């Protein structure tokens, strides 16, 4: 579902530009005064300096209801796909920043920060790159140069506009013990040192952006905590070597069938104790549903487990002072990536398929109200 949307970007651009153009016309005056509703997630989280975020597909911003929720509820946005290499450089040497630029402009008009996602990942690479590597026309030396240019050009293009960059994404294996995956596209061609190089290149291009390592199951979601242990050891080593890494992002893709990862708070705190910021970067809590259209949980208990796990995940972030943002990977079940990627699952977000708030949303409001009186003020960034 989402995948097909990826290929409609070109067509969507004009409509998106027209619709957002209207909003943008009135924006400068409104922007300075943009006031989110007092009971919105972003307003409730503001007293402790926590940012509540969502992934956004700029194409969806043409829908008024969707746009209103993005601006009212969230104080940081992540482009769901529009800063990935496949999208920004579909043809070698020809950049297309249009959709990402549009989201950045929208964020600026609504007093939001931006998480850049993601510079170095094995997925959603341009065909010209993977084909060139596969047929030998791009050798390893050139691949390294191309990556250096990609990181430098992208970070430079958005310089000063990105709060946190997910520099490197999903490099660790899911096995026990875990480690950097030797079969990863980048590692197999360029060796493990390429991750540190990407951080150095990103830092050189925008010294003020916070640079994150981002991955899933690095908050004990694997049960054994093996992946968290491996990532912890690696970031500790990187910090020791002076690599400019500022934070660790736990994606936070949970599934009710596995229960809540009870290690999460301790794992986040352990990264924080290294002097790092932490963030939940792609939160959702999926469960089995009747169908992808209605997304009614098949197990009645899941209607309780879903908001419970979501709330516990937010509470873990609230409990760790260095946790500076909590981002959901889309806020509506109808737009979520889950039904397209996890067969039979859905109901993973804060709003239902009609964009009505679900129990998880109400629990978030309650958690944030309590936190405003108890949780520690987040560090200034």
Residue placing its CB nearer to ligand XIL in the complex, 195 or 368 = 195
Tell me how crowded residue 330 is: count the other CB atoms within 10 A of its CB: 26
The pairing of beta strand 345-346 with beta strand 277-288: antiparallel
CB 53 within 8 Å of CB 327: yes
Q: Which is nearer to ligand XIL, 255 or 282 (CB)?
A: 282
Q: Looking at beta carbons only, is 112 or 118 nearer to ligand XIL?
A: 118
170 is catalytic: yes
Alpha helices in 224-277 (DSSP H): 226-240, 264-272
Q: Which of 82, 89, 154, 170 is catalytic?
A: 170
Position among 67, 73, 164, 169 found at the interface with ligand XIL (CB under 6 A): 169
Residue 121 Cβ vs ligand XIL, minimum distance, rounded to whole Å? 7
Whole-angstrom distance, CA of residue 21 vs CA of residue 17: 6
In the bound complex, what is the minimum distance in angstroms from residue 321's beta carbon to ligand XIL? Answer: 25
d(CA 187, CA 223): 26
349 binds ligand XIL (CB under 6 A): no
Instruction: Look up 366 and say whether it is catalytic.
Output: no
Tokens at 73, concatenated: 């509820």
In the complex, least distance from residue 188 CB atom to ligand XIL, rounded to whole angstroms: 20
Catalytic residue among 80, 282, 335, 345: 282
Residue selected from 36, 44, 79, 80 as contacting ligand XIL according to rule CB under 6 A: 80
Under a CB-based contact definition with an 8 Å cutoff, are residues 324 and 279 in contact?
yes
What's the number of CA atoms in the CB half-sphere (13 Å) around residue 96? 16
Nearer to ligand XIL, 52 or 120 (CB): 120
> Which pair of tokens denotes residue 359?
């129990």
Considering only residues 323 through 342, tell me which ones interact with ligand XIL, judged by CB under 6 A.
337
Instruction: Give 112's contacts (C-beta < 8 A, 6+ positions apart).
Output: 71, 74, 75, 76, 77, 106
Cβ closest to ligand XIL, residue 80 vs residue 99: 80
Q: Which of 54, 73, 81, 295 binds ligand XIL (CB under 6 A)?
A: 81
Residues that bind ligand XIL (CB under 6 A): 2-3, 6, 80-81, 169, 251, 282, 337
- Residues designated catalytic: 170, 282
């Amino acid at each position: 579902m989402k995948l097909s949307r990826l290929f409609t970007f070109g067509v969507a651009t004009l409509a998106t530009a027209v619709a957002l153009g209207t909003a943008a016309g009135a924006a400068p005056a409104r922007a300075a005064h943009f006031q989110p509703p007092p009971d919105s997630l972003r307003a409730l989280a503001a007293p402790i300096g926590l940012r509540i975020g969502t992934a956004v597909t700029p194409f969806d911003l043409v829908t008024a209801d969707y746009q209103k929720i993005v601006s009212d509820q969230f104080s940081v946005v992540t482009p769901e796909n529009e800063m990935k290499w496949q999208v920004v450089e579909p043809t070698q040497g020809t950049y297309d920043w249009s959709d990402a630029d549009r989201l950045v402009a929208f964020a600026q008009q609504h007093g939001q920060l931006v998480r850049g996602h993601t510079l170095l990942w094995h997925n959603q690479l341009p065909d010209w790159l993977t084909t060139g590597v596969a047929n030998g026309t791009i050798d390893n030396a050139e691949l390294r140069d191309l990556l250096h240019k990609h990181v430098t050009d992208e970070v430079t293009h958005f310089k000063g506009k990105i709060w946190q960059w997910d520099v490197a994404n999903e490099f660790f294996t899911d096995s026990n013990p875990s480690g950097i995956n030797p079969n990863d596209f980048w590692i197999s061609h360029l060796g493990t040192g390429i991750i540190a190089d990407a951080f150095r290149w990103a830092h050189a291009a925008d010294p003020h952006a916070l640079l994150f390592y981002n991955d899933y199951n690095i908050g004990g979601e694997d049960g054994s905590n093996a992946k968290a242990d491996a990532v912890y050891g690696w970031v500790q080593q990187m910090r020791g070597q002076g690599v400019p890494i500022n934070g660790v992002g736990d994606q936070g893709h949970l599934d009710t069938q596995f229960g809540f990862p009870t290690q999460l708070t301790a794992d986040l705190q352990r990264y924080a104790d290294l002097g790092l910021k932490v963030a939940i970067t792609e939160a959702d809590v999926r469960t089995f549903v009747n169908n992808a259209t209605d997304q009614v949980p098949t197990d009645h208990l899941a209607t309780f487990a879903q908001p419970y796990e979501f709330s516990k995940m937010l509470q873990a972030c609230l409990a760790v002072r260095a946790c500076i943002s909590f981002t959901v990977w889309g806020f509506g079940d109808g737009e979520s990536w889950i039904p397209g990627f996890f067969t039979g699952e859905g109901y993973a977000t804060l709003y239902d398929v009609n964009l009505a708030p679900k129990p998880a949303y109400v629990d978030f409001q309650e958690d944030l109200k309590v936190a405003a009186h108890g949780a520690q003020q987040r560090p200034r960034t």
